[in-house]
Amino acid sequence: MSKVIVGMSGGVDSAVAAFLLKEKGYEVIGVTLRTWLSEDGTESRCCEIDDARRTAWELGIRYYPYNCLELFKEKVIEPFAKDYIRGLTPNPCIECNRYVKWGKMEYIRQVFDADYIATGHYAHVIEKNGRYTVRTADYTSKDQTYMLYKLTQEQLAHTLMPLGGYSKEQVRDIARDIGMEVAGKKDSQELCFVTEGNHADYIDSMGMLDTPGAGAFTDKEGNILGTHKGIHHYTIGQRKGLGIALGTPRFVTKLNPSSNEVVLGDESDLMKQELLCGELNFLSVERIPEGDKIRCNAKIRYAHKASPAVIYGVGDDMVRVVFDEAVRAPSPGQSAVFYDDEGCVIGGGRIMDQKID
């Protein structure tokens, strides 16, 4: 009997993933990674150990919580805050998946001498070109492949994702049919470690000495338009909550950490056709050599519909992405993820700049 370690968040997705694997004959062991505690000692929304433990009891499987507080702080929280301070827009879930969830669960898999790890992500793990990659879920409204592009070949080789062929409604129906208490539990939509206020409030509460203070709103010509609260309060494409009235809608088009300036412009200024990506991770191909190119569909954020593009290799760890048509508000710090025509992830990278000069 194959043994599988299932990451259980306390929600319905991971609960049903564990159930489906048990039904297929796997020996299932549930684990929860405790990644964050509030000042009063209560768990964050994504680490609800009581619900996960109860689900494991309902399924009749072994269950173990693991402390990952320091790892999560080092790999997710601190880089998240530093990126915003540097004028970037980070995606902490991507980093958490590779370095915390899969990093720790792969260790646990080896400790238990298990064959696989599994999660409740909506995606398929497949082999292509002699390599492992992820393919989009059958129901694209729940597809989570964008968040998984940084996983390594070793991690994917030992990963199962049993929910790739299910819709969210089907998953809830399964949970209700077998009497799981979490069947109707609401999905978590926010950053798991930001439980009050917004990301900027959270960063301010960390007391980091280099948190930027007030600076100038400017237009693209450098004219001063007003005063902002600190660049970590703003993201590319933002219109609401600027605290400045200029008579016509203005959007954040650029963040300049060196001068502590937030540049405002028209919506047309947000449209970009080229961008540069670094910190690459490839799945279905090993790499894109300098001078080579691949036709693909590229997503520049989780909710973005993938757009036709060509990616060009421009160095050992850099690609240039040229879209057929301009896309709105690509943000340095976010990730661009590249898909082939079958919905398989070619790879992805971090947006380093909005355009090649």
**C-alpha closest to that of 267 among 236, 311, 242:** 236
Compute the distance between CA of residue 350 and CA of residue 353 in angstroms, rounded to an integer: 9
Structure tokens, 165: 């062929």
- 244 and 298 in contact (C-beta within 8 Å)? no
Q: What is the DSSP string of 23-82?
A: HTT-EEEEEEEE--B-TTS-B-TT--HHHHHHHHHHHT-EEEEEE-HHHHIIIIIHHHHH
Choosing from 96, 277, 296, 344, the catalytic residue is 96
Within 13 Å of residue 139, how many CA atoms lie on the same side as its CB? 13
Q: Find where tokens 């390594």 sit.
A: 152
Q: Please state at what angle helix 49-59 crosses helix 12-23, rounded to 10 degrees.
A: 20
Choosing from 46, 47, 68, 192, the catalytic residue is 192
Instruction: Identify whether 192 is a catalytic site residue.
Output: yes
- 350 and 357 in contact (C-beta within 8 Å)? no
- Per residue in 268-306, is it b (16+ CB within 10 Å) or e — as a string? ebbebebbbbeebbbbbbeebeeeeebebbbbbbbebeb
Cβ neighbour number for residue 46 with a 10 Å cutoff: 20
- Per DSSP, what are the bridge partners of residue 313? 319
**C-alpha closest to that of 316 among 278, 274, 275:** 278
Alpha-carbon dihedral of residues 320, 295, 274, 87, nearest 10 degrees? -60
- 254 and 235 in contact (C-beta within 8 Å)? no
Question: Which residues form the catalytic set?
Answer: 96, 192
